[in-house]
Amino acid sequence: MSFRWHSYPSPREAASACARQTQMLLEQALSGQGTATMAVSGGSTPALWFRELVDLDLDWSRIHLFWVDERAVPPTHERSNYAGAKAAFLDPSGIPSSNIHRMRAEASDLAIAAMDYEAELRDSVRLKLGGVPALDLVVLGIGDDGHTASLFPGDATLFVTDKLVAPVPAAGQREARLTLTSPVLESARATVVIVLGASKHPALERVWAASGDLRETPARVIRGCRGSVTWVIDRAAGGMG
């Protein structure tokens, strides 16, 4: 893992930098193989980044979009990662619907939905690393609790390695999810992690610490990424006030 990080004064500047980094990595893939594949996360942070992405000059007709994870809600629900991406990016960018690979986490049987998405991932991502689809770019966030994707502290999904996509059971207020598993995250050719806000600082410190407990801080799985990893943070997340 080649580990780089950049800190920016404000969330807007960090999101803009993340968009520029995304453009550079996607253009590298496009020039190398004619197409590109990217998986995006949900939550509030990507919303900022999506808005910056729309303004970039990228040939979206050659870029296929996947999700890192999705909540078990309808695709029109306000908690849906797809719904957030649709409003901020999918519609304005004009990316062809055939390039949009939505996780169907609203399905009644999440285990079947996970298998279906795994098949779609295998069919759509040509490049494989040890038999695992190697996405050109994966964009991750981390939660205040140290999760990434939908790999949560104390949840066994973090240790699933015989599947590419897995259902995550509901817990407390958190709805059930579908998530890419650690083998897919680790096989990405490039990973960009955008982390904004002071509330993320403790989790970021636990991820960046030389040693730590993966169960307590699943985002430490990012340390096992075999491709390039670029952290884009704002000063608040970096603990610089």
Residues that bind ligand 6PG (CB under 6 A): 41-45, 68-69, 81, 141-143, 147-150
- Which pair of structure tokens corresponds to residue 225? 């990424």
Secondary structure of residue 229 in the 3-state scheme: strand
CB of 186 to ligand 6PG, least distance (A): 16
- Measured from the CB atom, the residue of 12 and 62 that comes closer to ligand 6PG is 12
- Measured from the CB atom, the residue of 44 and 76 that comes closer to ligand 6PG is 44
- Measured from the CB atom, the residue of 148 and 187 that comes closer to ligand 6PG is 148
CB of 36 to ligand 6PG, least distance (A): 20
Classify the C-alpha dihedral 69-72-74-77 as positive or negative. negative
Residues 6+ apart with CB under 8 A from 215: 153, 154, 158
Nearest to 221 by CA among 117, 136, 142, 165: 142
CB of 179 to ligand 6PG, least distance (A): 8
Residues 6+ apart with CB under 8 A from 116: 104
CB of 141 to ligand 6PG, least distance (A): 3
Q: Which residue is nearest to ligand 6PG (CB)?
A: 43
Are 213 and 207 within 8 A, CB to CB? no
- Measured from the CB atom, the residue of 84 and 227 that comes closer to ligand 6PG is 84
